[in-house]
Homo-oligomer: A and B are copies of this chain.
Amino acid sequence: MKLLEDKIKEVGRVLPGDVLKVDAFLNHQVDPKLMAEMGKEFAKLFKDDDITRIVTVESSGIAPAVMAGLYMDVPVVFARKHKSLTLTDDVYTSEVYSYTKQTSNQISIDKRFIQPNDRLLIIDDFLANGQAVQGLLDVANQANVSVNGIGIVIEKSYQKGHELIEKTGIHLESLAKIRSLDNDKVTFVED
């Protein structure tokens, strides 16, 4: 998605440790018009996947997921993150490790908000090692519903998340695919 790649080039910052900071438009400050364009793009990319509901993880997934939900006309559920949780029967939970923050969080979704015949679209801001997506796939598995699509805003294509998802056969779409952050420079995968 050219608009997104241009924005990354313009205001994204490459930091030591293979970090791409996009807090100027995605995960701290948010550009609502860009989010709306991303929502439209997700709606187009997944229009044949028969999606009934979008799931994401708080907080950075919420803006793109809600915009996608608007243009796809489906509800959105954001999983809550907790350091730890007293387990109850009322929620699906999974463990998600963040390599960036080097901490583990439980994510949880209230069982009322996944229905037996749902066909889910997972949306997230970043795909690197694929931990958050794995957590949401685990939740879908517990709920015994199918995941028909995975939509990512920015994918680091050289990390293992991409391959992990490819192996599942689930329809994956990433709006921006990064080939490398070497030499403090963002290089995109050629389409």
A residues near B (Cβ < 8 Å) are 23-24, 28-33, 35-36, 58-59, 62-63, 65-67, 69-70, 73-78, 80, 109-110, 112-113
**25 pairs across A/B with beta carbons < 8 Å?**
A23-B113, A24-B112, A24-B113, A28-B80, A28-B110, A29-B77, A29-B110, A29-B113, A30-B65, A30-B66, A30-B69, A30-B76, A30-B78, A32-B66, A32-B69, A32-B74, A32-B75, A33-B70, A35-B70, A36-B70, A59-B59, A59-B78, A62-B63, A62-B66, A66-B67
Expressed in whole angstroms, the Cα–Cα distance for A76 and B31 within the complex equals 7
Asked if A73 and B110 make an inter-chain contact with CB atoms under 8 angstroms apart, the answer reads no
**Which chain B residue lies CB-closest to A76?**
B30
Q: Which residues of B contact A65 (CB under 8 A)?
A: 30
Q: Please list the 4 inter-chain residue pairs (A to B) with the smallest Cβ-Cβ separation, ordered nearest first.
A: A32-B69, A32-B70, A58-B59, A59-B59
Given known contacts A32-B75, A59-B62, A59-B78, what 4 new A-B pairs fall within 8 Å (CB)?
A28-B109, A30-B65, A30-B76, A33-B70
Known: A35-B66, A58-B59. A75 touches B30 (CB 8 A): yes
Expressed in whole angstroms, the Cα–Cα distance for A80 and B23 within the complex equals 11
Asked if A32 and B62 make an inter-chain contact with CB atoms under 8 angstroms apart, the answer reads no
